[in-house]
Amino acid sequence: MATEDEFTINFDIEKGEVRTDLREFQRIYSETTPKRPPNPITAMIKAHLGGPSDCVAKYWPEQLGKLMLHTFEGYLAKHYNQENIENPQMRATSHQPLGLGIVIENDFVLVEGFRLLCPKAGGVKQARLVISHIVDPDGDLRIVVNYLAEDKTSKRESAELLAEMVDYAWKNSVLRGRVFDMGFRVLDRDSRSVEDLTLNDKARKAIDFHIVRYIEKLDTLREAGLTTNRGVILSGPPGTGKTLVVKDVIAKTSMTTIVITSAIRATQLVSEAYRIARKLAPTLVILEDIDAAGGISRQLCDHPILGEVLQALNGIESNEGVITLATTNYAENLDEALRDRPGRFDVVIKIDLPDSKTRHILLERLLSRYEVQGKIDLDKLVVQTKGLTGAWIDELIKTALQNAIISDGRSSICQGDLMMAIIDIRNRRAEAHSPTGLLCDRFRSSDDFSPEVF
């Protein structure tokens, strides 16, 4: 005979059957198992919503998530009265700095905690909701919206909240009007570094027409029915001033600017960068050294990001208001689908070696920063610096000053210092372009080589 906390199992060996009363088993198990305390989070959600809940969620990588949540307070304040829960029995509340590398107002973002939302009286929202901020084990930031499971209005408004808060975040993003990279570090928009920019007239006019003035007239171009996405390639040998041109363009516009370096492209974030550019448009996207890693060309290799770049520039999604400015040392290495295809890159502007007029202006400008001794024959220097880039001409002036200080203890530059610097730079460039050769070749050419050593 079973007691109150026992149940019976009947064996019929002849028939090979085992019988028991599962309802009785469930009752006894339920009555004898120690009761677990109610989950405080579940209890809080149920009490606020008035019944069992269901949820929707959205997550982002850590830094992008902080940017999404940075404007969350502003969105919630428009539609809800809210209460942030501080309860040590539940998940601890945690804030993290936005981490853009600049000082801004309200820099800290809630990444862990709970919010109880009640719709504002007379507003468009009707349902009570509960927001959970969670940091996933992999560092992603997650938002969970709990709503009353049986209420269709609550379900609809919970999905609307996630969609609307993302849209609000992009429209009011702290990144608008700033220069930043894909690590979401804000960079300076500084014109001081472009003082040395000296271009020939052809390049200067092309940059002004196809980039600077194009950006200034974006709204007018749009009203005229023209597309407002444009790609421009700056092509030229290293040291001719392509990077300075990029900085000059950035300094002349207040447009949101995303800088994509070759290191970032290697992580295949190009598509993500253009997705952000579309959200923040009008946007200027900088692709530095697009020919890095051997050139983005099918002729050279099956480049891992060629397809991603092509899709980002002219894929299904519209790039209206997105302007791309790329630099390359070797435009001929770029795939024709990039450099000769309107809608991707419409213009290639050659930033060539400075001509004689440009070299004269550059030499005069650079020398004006230093103390000069005696008369400087600029015309002779212009002839002697033919074939030098702007970077090498700058190095020439610095080498001349170095020669004056080290050789003669002077702090002023004379013509002789400049001529010595020209010889030094020619030798340095010759060494840079000469093959190193093999160690065995050096032994064979040495007068001291002796087979007996081996």
How would residue 452 be classed by pLDDT, with cut points 50, 70 and 90?
Answer: very low
Q: ∠190-193-197 over CA atoms, to 5°?
A: 125
**Is 361 within a domain?**
yes
The answer to whether residues 249 and 366 belong to one domain is no
Specify the range with the lowest mean pLDDT, choosing from 6-10, 28-32, 200-204, 328-332: 6-10
Q: What average pLDDT does the segment 94-112 reach?
A: 87
The answer to whether residues 300 and 339 belong to one domain is yes
| Residues found in the chain | 454
Radius of gyration from C-alpha coordinates of the chain: 34
- What element of type H or E holds 394? helix 390-408
**Is 322 within a domain?**
yes
User: What pLDDT is attached to residue 267?
Assistant: 57
- pLDDT above 70 coverage of the chain, percent: 80
**Is 305 within a domain?**
yes
Specify the range with the lowest mean pLDDT, choosing from 89-93, 109-113, 204-208: 89-93
CATH number for the domain spanning 369: value is 1.10.8.60
The answer to whether residues 280 and 409 belong to one domain is no
How would residue 24 be classed by pLDDT, with cut points 50, 70 and 90?
Answer: confident
The answer to whether residues 360 and 345 belong to one domain is no
Contact 230, 212 (CB under 8 A): no
State both tokens at 77.
């304040």
**Is 50 within a domain?**
yes
State both tokens at 276.
């952000």
**CA neighbor of 143 nearest in space, from 113, 120, 122:** 113
- Could you give the CA distance from residue 157 to residue 164 in angstroms, rounded to a whole number? 10
CATH number for the domain spanning 166: value is 3.30.530
Structurally, how many domains does the chain consist of? 3
The answer to whether residues 212 and 111 belong to one domain is no
User: What pLDDT is attached to residue 440?
Assistant: 55
Q: State pTM to two decimals.
A: 0.77
**Is 11 within a domain?**
no
Q: ∠419-424-429 over CA atoms, to 5°?
A: 125
- pLDDT higher than 50, residue 449: no
The answer to whether residues 193 and 155 belong to one domain is no
Specify the range with the lowest mean pLDDT, choosing from 167-181, 227-241, 265-279, 429-443: 429-443
How would residue 301 be classed by pLDDT, with cut points 50, 70 and 90?
Answer: very low
Of 307, 332, 350, the one marking the end of a domain is 350
The answer to whether residues 211 and 322 belong to one domain is yes
- Could you give the CA distance from residue 158 to residue 58 in angstroms, rounded to a whole number? 11
The answer to whether residues 340 and 382 belong to one domain is no
The answer to whether residues 270 and 292 belong to one domain is yes
- What element of type H or E holds 454? none
- Could you give the CA distance from residue 378 to residue 384 in angstroms, rounded to a whole number? 10
**Is 35 within a domain?**
no
The answer to whether residues 296 and 406 belong to one domain is no
3-state secondary structure of 273: helix
Task: State the CB neighbour count (10 A cutoff) for residue 408.
Answer: 13
User: What pLDDT is attached to residue 26?
Assistant: 77
- Could you give the CA distance from residue 309 to residue 233 in angstroms, rounded to a whole number? 14
How would residue 266 be classed by pLDDT, with cut points 50, 70 and 90?
Answer: low
How would residue 451 be classed by pLDDT, with cut points 50, 70 and 90?
Answer: very low
User: What pLDDT is attached to residue 434?
Assistant: 74
Q: 428 vs 439, which has greater pLDDT?
A: 428
3-state secondary structure of 284: strand
Q: What average pLDDT does the segment 162-174 reach?
A: 95
DSSP 208: I
Q: What average pLDDT does the segment 120-146 reach?
A: 95
Helical residues (DSSP H) of 178-269, grouped into ranges: 201-207, 213-216, 218-223, 242-252, 262-266
How would residue 9 be classed by pLDDT, with cut points 50, 70 and 90?
Answer: low
Q: ∠425-429-432 over CA atoms, to 5°?
A: 140
pLDDT in tens, 419-436: 999 999 999 888 877 776
The answer to whether residues 207 and 107 belong to one domain is no
**Is 7 within a domain?**
no
For 427, the domain range is 356-433
**Is 179 within a domain?**
no
Q: What average pLDDT does the segment 116-125 reach?
A: 94
CATH number for the domain spanning 205: value is 3.40.50.300
Contact 297, 306 (CB under 8 A): yes
The answer to whether residues 298 and 271 belong to one domain is yes
Bridge-based pairing of strands 347-350 and 179-181 is unpaired
Decide: residue 117, CB within 10 A, 0-12 exposed, 13-18 middle, 19+ buried.
buried
Of 174, 207, 228, the one marking the end of a domain is 174
pLDDT in tens, 46-74: 999 999 999 999 999 999 999 999 999 89
Of 316, 350, 384, the one marking the end of a domain is 350
Decide: residue 125, CB within 10 A, 0-12 exposed, 13-18 middle, 19+ buried.
middle
Spell out the residues 6+ positions from residue 185 whose beta carbon is closer than 8 angstroms to its own: 100, 101
How would residue 330 be classed by pLDDT, with cut points 50, 70 and 90?
Answer: confident
Q: What is the residue whose two structure tokens read 């509340």? A: 93
